[in-house]
Each structure stands twice: as structure tokens, then as C-alpha cells.
Structure 1
Amino acid sequence: MSADFTSVRNHNERAVFEAVQSHADRYPGLAHNPELLADVACVALNRLAPRYIRHEVDFVFYLSERERGDSERQLLDAVEYAFGFVQARTAMRARG
């Protein structure tokens, strides 16, 4: 019998995607470009340690309140950095 791994996912993916969507309006040069928003999500995810889960409750159950708060701050910092990074790279390409 083989194992079914289809329910395994990185918790940060959904959280980063939501954060990128909710912060996009602050970056008008990127907000309406789906390709650049996907780049922002990739940069942010690459700055975060993966948190693999099968069910959302797994993430909530196994972390302390402090760890959840730290994780949220790290996620928001990564998204903020990613927007700045992609915005700067886009501006450099436009000039070059």
C-alpha cells in the first residue's frame, strides 16, 4: 500500500498569498500585475522556513501563542521585504 501525501502542504503558502493580496494596494506599481504579485509571493516564501501541515488545526495545535505571533511577524516582514525587492527590481529593469 502506498501513502497518500496529497494533503501535505506548506502552511505559509496560503498565509503569504493572503498577505500579498491584502498589502498589494500599498504598491500601485505592482498591485494590478498578477505576474509581479506572484514574484512577490515567491520572494516572501523563500525567506520563510517551511511549515508543513496536513490540516490547519495542526499548525494551531502544535505551536505556542508566542510561536504563532513570531511566525506571523516573520511572515509580514518577509512580505514587506518581497514587495520592496520586486518593486526595486522592476524599476531597475524599466530604466535599463
Structure 2
Amino acid sequence: MKLDDDIHNYYEHLVLEQIVRLELAQSKSEDYLADLCCLALNQLPTRYIRYEVDMAFYLPQSERQQMEMNAINAVKHGMAYLDNNKKKESE
């Protein structure tokens, strides 16, 4: 078993979904996106899984919705932090 291939944090998937939903790859650099992922994920609890289907099958809908909202808020806060620091650097 290779841990880096078999196990991952489910919140990674949710954060990336939000970044795609916001179409940030079209307007932000790779460095910005990497920093944003780190900032967002550091705000969230870990939820390790082996298979995506496990979460879809065993996770109650209300908990899934809460996790999605947590990821949305974490991305918003990460973006605000990065954008605020960029403004300070340009002043």
C-alpha cells in the first residue's frame, strides 16, 4: 500500500471543486492557487478516505452540505487573506 496514492483528505476534493466553480484558474497564477489551497485546507479539519464512493454512500446529506459550506468559507477566507496581502505589498 502506498499511502500517498491510496489515502487522501476529502476536503482537498471540496476545496478544488470550489476553485473550479469560481473559475480561478483562468484569472489567478499557479502560485496563488497553491497558496489558496494551503490556506483553505489549514482552516479545515481532516477527513481521510480511501475511496470517493465511501463518502457518497456513508455520509449523511446534511453533513456533506456542511462540509461543502466549510470548504466554500475556507476558500473565501483564503482569497481575502491573499488579496489583502497583495494590496499591502503594492502600497
RMSD: 1.8
Q: Does the alignment pair 1:37 with 2:33?
A: yes
Structure whose CA Rg is larger: 1
Deviation, 1:15, is 2.1
Gaps of 5+ in 2: none
Deviation, 1:24, is 4.5
Gaps of 5+ in 1: none
Q: Tell me what 1:49 maps to.
A: 45
Cα offsets for 1:73-96 (capped at 9, x unmatched): 11111111111111001111122x
Look up the SS of the partner of 2:22 in the other structure.
helix
Cα offsets for 1:21-71 (capped at 9, x unmatched): 33255xx9xx23111111111111111111100000111222211101111
Paired positions, count = 89
Task: Give the TM-score of the pair, scaled to structure 1.
Answer: 0.80
Distance 1:79 1:60 in 2: 22
Which structure 1 residue ranges, 4+ long, deviate > 2 Å from structure 2? 3-6
Letter in 2 for 1:53: I
Letter in 1 for 2:6: S
Look up the SS of the partner of 1:49 in the other structure.
coil
Task: Give the TM-score of the pair, scaled to structure 2.
Answer: 0.84
